[in-house]
Amino acid sequence: MRYRLHIFALAAALVFAGSTVAQQAGDTAVIAVQGDPGHLNPAISTAGPLHAVADSLFNGLVSLDRDGNAQPDLARSWSVSPDGLEVRFSLTEGVTWHDGRPFTSADVKFSFEELLFRFHARARAGLAPAVASVDAPDPLTVVFRLKRPHPALLRQLDVTEAPILPRHIYAGSEPNRNEANSKPIGTGAFRLESYRRDDSVVLVKNARYFKPGLPRLDRLTFRIIPETNTQLAALANGEVDYLGRVSPADVARLEGKATIVRTTAGPGGANCIMTLAFNLDRPRLALHAVRQAFAHTIDRAQMLSLVQFGQGRVAAAPIHSAISWATLPGALSYDVNLSKANALLDGAGLARNPSGERATFDLLMFPAFMRYGELMRQQLAGAGIAIRLKSLDPAAFATAVFTQRDFDLALVSYCNGVDPEIGVSRMYRSAAIGNVPFSNAAAYRNADVDRLFDEAGSSTDVARRGEAYRALQRIVATDLPYWWLVETDFTSAWRDSFRDFAPWSGQFAERAWRSR
């Protein structure tokens, strides 16, 4: 029996205007992005800025529609065995890579075994532990053999969670250093024309794309524009057509002037929580009392108001509230209380020096998160904690935090996905510590948490899974390896002359077109 998994609906889905408006015969969309992606290999990083550009070059086995349902992509259909331990995919015929080579099941097997399960933080932590093997019995068939039932499987197979890359390009190489990371070969609706670092990435229509009639745009030009005001001015002047991320402070400036869409998903992931990661390898931050002091000092409601302008929610638990069956309301009981914070720091031996400071920590972040960092620095000063803000592009940030572990604190937007197995487990599993971008930044280890993730991920009983996730949240909320700040919604905007952008998807421009 052919299988279609209807998954957790993405919030705030947009009902687009009908396609009765006359369509241009091809056109260009100019997209503003805030920072250079660093490289264009979405299989070895979950960084949002990278996926915002690179996902248009590739495909997953499935795509997710605006309601979160799995749809055919590189796989045209799939079936699940009665015991849930075998999932068989029939691949789409006639798919070719941008260099003309045929796409086959060998590419899928290679992508999972040699790329995704090694380097993609969410696939490595949330999917790999459940997979016994990925087999390719013939060129158009892929079989996932599972160690245990894994109800989140299809939700982890779209281009954001599991992009498929060419075996003939990456086999026998070191994936992190392959020159194709900057000159990618994909199967996607668009192929690379040029990549000028810190300036622009230009993608052009893939004339051999396997989906009839797509793409409808001839070209995507990604312009790297770090300043928000410059992005907004460029949209108003017609120099830019699409803003993938609009600051909540700027939404009002675009009302009535552009199409505005709010979602909880986008390139890079879904259901994201802005999170402060403590490097538990640093002696002072390994002290539980010091982390508790941070929690009693940081005013997250003020952060939601002043940085997010009320768009989002204060994080009530380690798992995003949109995954309602797994959340633990009230897990975080730390009120803003400077007296408690100062008492904890005194007890931890962090006395104030003559200038009133107790300790200085470096805080690493993307440039887009600077407002969070500046407010956090002001708030922590009240407890005598000094913060040095360090803004890094995605590639430099990933190296410093996850490879070199040369940081005290890191501000990370951890996207939970539509199931905790997708984006939550990689934050806490001890096996997720290591040289994998956007995995377990804290280097947190707890055998009971590992066991509970195994239990939750192997059951098809939603109630049982929910109890396991709530149990592990009680543990991590007590241990405090991270401080969960605010749940962030995404706002995208584009000129009204464009139709059918899908900002909830990595393939956001696959069906987009421009009206006359």
Both tokens of residue 275? 């999170």
CA–chain centroid gap for 121, Å, is: 10
326 and 474 together in one domain: yes
Nearest in space to 397 (alpha carbons), one of 437, 369, 435, 439:
437
- Contact present, 427 and 439 (Cβ < 8 Å): yes
User: How far is the C-alpha of 153 from the C-alpha of 146, rounded, in Å?
Assistant: 10
Give the pLDDT band (50/70/90) at residue 12: very low
User: How far is the C-alpha of 513 from the C-alpha of 509, rounded, in Å?
Assistant: 8
161 and 294 together in one domain: no
Q: Kindly report, residue by residue over 344-353, the tens digit of the pLDDT.
A: 999 999 999 9
Residue 328, by phi and psi: left (phi above 0), alpha (psi -120 to 50) or beta? Answer: beta
49: domain CATH number?
Answer: 3.90.76.10
Our count of domains for the chain comes to: 2
Q: Kindly report, residue by residue over 351-403, the tens digit of the pLDDT.
A: 999 999 999 999 999 988 999 999 999 999 999 999 999 999 888 999 999 99
pLDDT, average across residues 316-343: 90
pLDDT, average across residues 11-30: 48
Please give the residue range of the domain that contains residue 372: 269-488
Neighbours of 315 (CB within 10 A): 23
Q: Kindly report, residue by residue over 422-434, the tens digit of the pLDDT.
A: 889 999 999 999 8
Full strand arrangement of the beta sheet holding 312-314: 312-314, 482-488, 272-278, 409-415, 359-365, 385-391
Sign of CA dihedral 255, 261, 264, 266: negative
177 and 282 together in one domain: no
User: How far is the C-alpha of 341 from the C-alpha of 411, rounded, in Å?
Assistant: 21
Q: What is the pTM of this model?
A: 0.78
49 part of a folded domain: yes
Both tokens of residue 52? 């915002």
pLDDT for position 18: 34
Among 120, 151, 181, give the residue marking a domain's end.
181
307 and 418 together in one domain: yes
